[in-house]
Chain A
């Protein structure tokens, strides 16, 4: 396993000549050279002009590991939804199934990585992939052991069967060898024949070993008898068969008999003439020296441990495991080498010290994926309840937060991180709030996805901020319609006012409205801000006027001023709009309405102190404006006269 990475040098940076500065980010670190010089030297060394981004979680960027992250995300979410009511057996079965799913994802990933490593042309590249394969393989090995010990909680008896499966799964070169030997013309003469048989026995695959022995017996009459006897011993070895009612005591008794029989054959020298068979028999007796002779075939101490248990303590209790594990490790290493991180992790597992397992894994592995998911699963097995950290929340949450933060640092995997934060009850929400604001919103579609995440979680502050960002962008791009839509969605009255003002300004400049499709269909959203209401109503006035519904248009126009919805700066425009209505053949403004209009005009021209000088000043300065006012006054007076006559004559008739 490629663990505990040493000091990493950043290419191009010389920290012995230049002072460095750095800044932490969520998943990354910025490093650059400063212009300060050590030792007061003059600036002779050319500086490095770059700012480096150092990523701590490199694995996130692996194309193949992305599949692991994505696929396991689905399993993770499924696990969180497992009904809490499920208890006892069904719950355990569910959890074991989940654990197996996780492992199969690791395996799939490992196989693909292996294929890529083989196919890679560049040796350095190939080496990198191979080291990834070994890391994945170690992860699966640890996970599998944890599954047996902590999730399955296998009792004495079945425990050993599980451990055997575990070893068989991870020491799998034998299958290639088996195919190789059986595929050869004369298997018995194959150079690795005895090696194969020995491995089969070491792994407890006695049926297969027996078949191989029968081949030997068929072709060599001298050893046929011995092979038959050893074969019989293999056949009669008592094993626990799941599903039977056999008790452990019965098994132990039978096993004791069988063991004694093997012992007797060895002492009688039954196999004395064949060193191969004799060594096999010794293995089957659990003879430590004989086992250690096969060190190379055993590969590692945990294989040694399991084989040793198989042939000397087949009904080992979980509680005694650590004792055998420790002695196996000591015997196997024999003081020649010190245990590696992987050995320590497995040993901690055999000691049932979950926290130590997680701690060692966190230190040794280069990503948070493994510890985060394993801890979460063990937490669902209710194994971590008591443990609280002195910082943040509990360990499960701490690890999940670390993992999810790593995902958020990635330009594309951030979406996965959201669900992990969701299942961190204490700090998940705040973390999500902090991270989600930092997602770059390159397109509206992406923004919509981020918005949906925030809206589903009632993160109103973030929703507002995203809509505001989009509205600002739209304004900058001169897309007023879009900007208005976004500020309506954010319910941002101030911004809606600002955009409405832009619309009105454009109208004053061009004399026509843009984006009618939006303004005509504002609906209830119009009530968001006074200015927006005015914009919508003013446009409605234009529509009524266009449809020649003059009476409605006139009363709407007047109400815009009297109800103070229209900004005062716009009144002159409104009054000018009234001019053609005043000049129509039929009387449109009633006498009362005309009085109102006159009052509005007087309000505007008298330059009331509330409104300040500039407006009045401007009105007086501008000749055109004065003429306009004169025209208005004339039109209003004439209309008033006509209205009084009309109203009077109507009443009269």
Chain B
């Protein structure tokens, strides 16, 4: 993690996402998309970290990412996902959901499909509706699921003009994030500390399962599912806690890990190396959690220059009933072994790190200090 490149981009970055590499190809990540927020005019931009025909093989500008193209986006970009290689879905604070098309030939972006007023409030007494911010989006070709401050869940298909399915009043509070558990099941997290599982095969507007943090109802801001073990889910909360859940059993998290000092905005399992987890927070930090057990001489020491932080690790449910099969390293909660090593990836604290994404050895994150950080040597 020696080389981390920063670039100031004159807009606060709300989301960063790698473009997926074609399945089975040996390519590494080289293009990513960003969305901005809180600007008079917000944008969705595409950046390249490519070598531009190996011109810079001497290392001169190798790490610097260059703007490929960008397009105006109405409202804050609340969430951003690649639909496929050429298409990006953006969620807007104006309640609309937009599918952008990237044309690699002439490096431009255009609007492919737009669902305006996908999220809205209905005011009592008046038939007019006010738009509500769309807070999260997740794609699994051809489906797009969006959630919003209006507590609504929408299911879109890229080729349909109307929503395929809408669950009104799915949540009494704000839905903050959504992810696929396994099609057609989705997971949502809300602002009263609940994790809900929805099954699109079921009619009605009731979730098939509710899991929740006990007590303080701390809002959950992000959710990610283990790429291989689909029952393992990680969430991040307003108090900066990382919670690991086993959705097969119990209604409470398997473990709660004290992490950041403020809102955890995003959590991501490494897609191909899921013993590694990445989190970023409002407190301006970006952490790499390493739970791989094969690493020699792992200590539970907190590796961050000079900062003393208490690292609490308490298990809630005991694992007496574990099967002999593969146990996820995230579910084994033996504090004595202290198997998680944490590294802070950003050199010095800045303003909030709003978003991060990992793909292969590459990581990208964006901050409120209007900087995008990229590294291409995560595991070196």
Chain A residues within 8 Å of B, Cβ to Cβ: 63-64, 66-67, 70-71, 73-74, 78, 411-412, 415-416, 442-446, 448-449, 452, 456, 476-482, 485, 514-518, 521, 523-525
Contact = CB atoms under 8 A, between A and B. Distances in A.
B279 interface: no
B38 A411 contact: yes
A443 B172 contact: no
B93 A74 contact: no
A412 B38 CA distance: 6
B371 interface: yes
Nearest to A63: B10
Nearest to B261: A456
Contact of B121 (A411, A412, A479): A479
A481 B193 CA distance: 13
A636 B215 CA distance: 39
B8 A67 contact: yes
Interface of B: 8-12, 37-40, 76, 78, 93, 121-124, 130, 132-133, 135, 149-151, 169, 171-174, 190-194, 196, 210, 212, 214-217, 238, 262-263, 282, 348, 350-352, 368-371
Given A442-B76, A479-B151, A452 B263 contact: yes
Contacts of A516: 172
Most buried by A among B149, B174, B212, B371: B174
A515 B368 CA distance: 34
Given A449-B282, A452-B263, A514-B172, A70 B216 contact: no
Contacts of A444: 133, 135, 149, 174, 191
Contact of A482 (B172, B215, B263): B172
Q: Which 3 A-B pairs have the closest CB atoms?
A: A481-B172, A515-B172, A477-B121
Contact of A524 (B150, B212, B215): B215
Contacts of A515: 172
Q: Which applies to chain B's interface (DSSP): helix, strand, loop or mixed?
A: loop
Nearest to B190: A517
Contact of B173 (A476, A485, A524): A485
Contact of A74 (B121, B214, B350): B350
Contacts of A67: 8-10, 370
Given A443-B93, A448-B263, A415 B368 contact: yes
Contacts of B130: 477
A517 B210 contact: yes
A115 to B, nearest CB: 14
Contact of B172 (A73, A449, A518): A518
A412 B39 contact: yes
A517 B192 CA distance: 9
Contacts of B282: 448-449, 452
A456 B371 CA distance: 23
Contacts of A78: 348
Given A480-B172, A482-B191, A525-B217, A411 B39 contact: yes
Given A479-B150, A482-B172, A517 B76 contact: no
Contact of B10 (A64, A74, A445): A64
Given A477-B123, A521-B193, 5 more contacts: A442-B93, A449-B282, A452-B262, A477-B150, A524-B215
A44 B238 CA distance: 61
Contact of A71 (B8, B193, B368): B8
Contacts of A478: 121-124
B151 A449 contact: no
B217 to A, nearest CB: 6
A91 to B, nearest CB: 18
17 contacts: A63-B10, A67-B9, A70-B8, A70-B369, A73-B369, A74-B348, A448-B263, A448-B282, A449-B352, A452-B263, A479-B121, A479-B172, A479-B173, A482-B149, A514-B169, A517-B194, A521-B193
Contacts of A64: 10
Most buried by B among A411, A448, A480, A524: A448
Nearest to B265: A445
Contacts of B348: 74, 78
Most buried by B among A445, A449, A481: A445
Contacts of A449: 282, 352, 368
Contacts of B78: 443, 445
Contacts of A514: 169, 172
A588 B359 CA distance: 63
B40 A411 contact: yes
